[in-house]
Amino acid sequence: MNDHKVMSSVLDVDKIRSEFPALTRTVHGKPLIYLDNGATTQKPLQMIERVRKFDAEEYGTVRRGAYKVSEYSTQLYEEARQKVADFFGAGSKSEIIFTSGTTQAINLVAYSFGKQFVKAGDEIIISNIEHHANTVPWQVLCEERGAHLKVIPVNDEGELILEEYDKLLSNKTRIVAVNHVSNALGTVNPVKEIARRAHSVGARILVDGAQSSSHMKVDVQDLDCDFYTFSGHKMYGPSGVGGLFGKMELLEQMPPYVTGGDMIMQVTLEKTTYARPPARFEAGTPPITQVIGLGASIDYMNGIGMDNIAEYEHQLLEYGTKCLEKIDGLRLIGTAKDKAAILSFYLDCVHPHDIVTCLDQDGIAVRGGHHCAQPTMIRFGVPATARASMSFYNKTEELDALAESIRRTIKIFS
Amino acid sequence: MSYINSELYQQVILDHNRKPRNFRKIEDATHSCHGINPLCGDDVYVYLNVNDAGVIEDVSFEGSGCAISKASCSLMTTHLKGKTVEDARINFKEFQNMIIGTMDPDKEEHHLGKLSLFMGVREYPSRTKCASLAWHTMVGALDRKFDGISTE
């Protein structure tokens, strides 16, 4: 395919690529083609430099020291919280809780919301295309509480069947937990509508935003979700930090998830009273440097513009879909009308792990496996898939190279 | 794709992947075990018929997995047929040592024969479990691990 020119120039991709040092790496003597952005994203210099400067010149503990170094560090930490709140459209920065990432954020809600609001006989709804991180915590909660887990089915394209969802909703439903974008298929779920229907029966909704947060404009107030979770390392920020948006009226009613220092109002040997959110949910010294880094990566994405990112990545998706559809024996898994830039595929004659090893020889990094979404794999009747997940720093030429490498792989195994 | 990779995907391995040998269930097996590799989802059953003298009269496998795991199962079954249980355990250790790189089949004595084709796996740390799943499952069957085995 040589119609690269059809891509409109929403972004200056060459300039963007020059801001990501990792993209100049070579693998097995070939230039790296990084297509595992669904797993984790590479880091822009702006973020790397911000973290370096903070650690070198501004680092101190937060919320503890009554001295200049600590006060300044605390100020920067709270400014980063404000950036996250603004980025996701939260009403107040107190509704943003920093965690180690999406997994911990979902566990926090399952534990704390569950403890306060879920009792025997209640029901929790997830979907058939959730990551294990948005499945297992709810299974554990149901087991502990004697509650029941209900699952929204999907059609052959990988879209949630909303009529079936309606049948699952009742006054027993306490919370609905679904992803915004499926990591295994790329499906963009209609979470605003899912939230509306959940609220109509008095249930709450958690949206797992791990795969949407860095690919589209997210406004938690517009979506009207009660909880939204995200991971910094999938947003061009550091690993080890992520977070939770939660509506204050709920957070205020929820007990702490992890206890210890910094989450208390007062401790005596007989009794402890807890701090208000977000401190109540941030026991111990938080990942300070990583939070500062996340703030910088949000500045970086805002500089490009989330609408521009979404538009460009959609063009990449359309281009990549056309490239892969032309390959005989390749089956795309996940063909929803509304999709993020994820191409999950299965070859008749080559197991996904062999695909990954062969593509790696051409410098192409893709993921192969069940993507921590085994129920999704079972639904589509495959043991695993290979997955190319794109970012705004990818180019159409890289997708041509992907298709070419897949063709060579098929030749070897057939 | 290349040169380095051809060491991993040797023709014999590709051939056993396309046409796995002894790919069937032994209904009256004296030993069997279910083996999984949770990281990549490889999933196999190994069946053995061992006689009173401790000789493996028949060995087979079923399941799904990548080319390396399937070819490893297939070649293992062809290699073990007619061998004693004791030999099978020795082969398991030699195979393990070869794929983790502590035994060089070109320089040291071993009893692996054609199985030394899997030497290339040692250059691919993420794939060694694919090659060893067959062997762990076979030993699991001999040790009567009724709950199955896992590479993790």
Helical segments of A88-231, H only: 102-117, 136-145, 162-168, 191-200, 220-223
- Phi/psi of residue A247, nearest 5 degrees: -65, 135
**What positions of A carry a catalytic annotation?**
372
Beta-bridge mates of residue A220? none
Residues of B in Cβ contact (< 8 Å) with A28: 2, 4
The confidence score (pLDDT) of residue A23 equals 98
All residues at 6 or more sequence positions from B41 whose CB lies less than 8 Å from its CB, including other chains:
A369, A370, A374, A377, A383, A384, B65
Contact between A129 and A161 (Cβ < 8 Å)? no
- Give backbone dihedrals phi and psi of A32, rounded to 5 degrees, phi first: -65, 130
Residue B2 pLDDT class (50, 70, 90 cuts):
very low
Query: B117: closest CA among B131, B102, B135, B138?
Result: B131
Nearest Cα of chain B lies from the Cα of A201 at a distance, in angstroms, of 39
- Domains of chain A, earliest start first: 4-44+306-408 (3.90.1150.10), 48-303 (3.40.640.10)
Residue contacts between A and B (CB atoms, under 8 Å): 53
Q: What is the average per-residue pLDDT within B9-15? A: 92
- Token code pair at residue A149: 């887990």
Beta bridge partners of A389: A36, A342
Closest CA to B93 of B55, B52, B127, B138: B138
Domain boundaries along the sequence of chain B:
3-150
E strand or H helix that includes residue A92 = none
Q: Kindly report the length of chain B.
A: 152
Chain B nearest CA to A352, separation (Å): 7
Chain A residue numbers with beta carbons less than 8 Å from the beta carbon of B5 are 357-358, 361
A354 to B66: CB separation less than 8 angstroms, yes or no: yes
pLDDT tens sequence for chain A (414 residues): 445 545 667 999 999 999 999 999 999 999 999 999 999 999 999 999 999 999 999 999 998 878 999 999 999 999 999 999 999 999 999 999 999 999 999 999 999 999 999 999 999 999 999 999 999 999 999 999 999 999 999 999 999 999 999 999 999 999 999 999 999 999 999 999 999 999 999 999 999 999 999 999 999 999 999 999 999 999 999 999 999 999 999 999 999 999 988 888 888 888 888 999 999 999 999 999 999 999 999 999 999 999 999 999 999 999 999 999 999 999 999 999 999 999 999 998 999 999 999 999 999 999 998 899 999 999 999 989 999 999 999 999 999 999 999 999 999 998
* pLDDT the model gives residue B7: 79
Closest partner residue to B5 among A352, A361, A370, by Cβ? A361
As assigned by CATH, the class of the B3-150 domain is alpha beta
The two three-digit tokens of residue A120, written as one number: 């025997």
Q: Do A412 and B43 touch (CB under 8 A)?
A: no
pLDDT at A8: 60
Residue whose C-alpha is closest to residue A205's, from A255, A134, A121: A134
The pLDDT value given to residue A307: 97
Could you give the CA distance from residue B131 to residue B105 in angstroms, rounded to a whole number? 16
Q: According to the model, what pLDDT value does residue A7 have?
A: 61
User: Does the complex come out with an ipTM higher than 0.90?
Assistant: no
pLDDT band at B40 (very low <50, low <70, confident <90, very high): confident
Q: How far apart are CA A304 and CA A412, in angstroms?
A: 41
Q: CA–CA separation, A137 vs A117, rounded Å? A: 15
The C-alpha of A112 sits at a distance from chain B's nearest C-alpha, in angstroms, of: 30
> Considering only alpha carbons, which residue of chain A is nearest residue B13?
A413
Token reading at A405: 């490498």
pLDDT range class, residue B1, cuts 50, 70, 90: very low
For residues B26 and B47, what is the distance between their CA atoms, to the nearest angstrom? 6
Question: For a pLDDT cut of 70, what percent of chain B falls above it?
Answer: 96
Helix axes A352-361, A396-413, angle to 10 degrees: 120
pLDDT score at A264: 83
CA dihedral A379, A380, A382, A386 (to 10 degrees): -120
Closest partner residue to A362 (CB to CB) among B1, B68, B127 is B1
3 state SS of A343: strand
Return contacts of A45-49, CB within 8 angstroms, 24+ apart: A45/A19, A45/A20, A45/A21, A46/A19, A46/A296, A46/A297, A46/A299, A46/A300, A46/A303, A47/A236, A47/A237, A47/A238, A47/A293, A47/A296, A47/A297, A47/A300, A48/A21
Which chain A residues touch B if contact means CB-CB below 8 Å?
A: 28, 350-354, 357-358, 361-362, 368-370, 374, 377, 383-384, 405, 408-409, 412-413
What is the token pair recorded at A74? 């605390």
